[in-house]
Amino acid sequence: MATPDLTPDLLEDIRADLEAQLAQLEKSMAVTEEAVRPVELDQQAVGRLSRMDSLQNQHMSQNLQEREQVRYAAIQAALRRIEEGSYGRCTACGSTLLPGRLMVMPEVEQCSGCSS
């Protein structure tokens, strides 16, 4: 299969994809936000084990929140590059990114040479 060029149509597809991902991420971030709230437990009702469980869950949610925030910023940056017309170029060396790569990872910023 030949690699398609980054045509306006394809760019529009990628923009729609990024916007959909951003909307989805906003929803899951709201859920994560709930999960990382300080654990308030009824000490009478909850045993030590479940308290440890919920602290562990909170910790996992914090890790998730960090990953979501990084991804959110990356998607927003990609949308900004589309607006600016610099999308599709490696932010490090300026070489053209492969459209096939952009379709799989639309928020990618650097070519495979620079990001490895």
| Residues lying near Zn ion in the complex (CB under 5 A) | 90, 92-93, 111, 114
Q: What spatial distance separates the first Cα and last Cα of the chain, rounded to whole Å?
A: 25
- Name which of 4 and 94 has its Cβ closer to Zn ion: 94
**Which residue's entry shows tokens 């060396």?**
93
| Contact present, 86 and 109 (Cβ < 8 Å) | no
- Name which of 60 and 93 has its Cβ closer to Zn ion: 93
Residue 105 CB, shortest distance to Zn ion, in Å, is: 14
| Contact present, 71 and 78 (Cβ < 8 Å) | no
Residue 109 CB, shortest distance to Zn ion, in Å, is: 9
3-state class (DSSP) for residue 88:
coil
- Name which of 16 and 92 has its Cβ closer to Zn ion: 92
Residue 40 CB, shortest distance to Zn ion, in Å, is: 48
Gyration radius from the chain CA atoms: 20
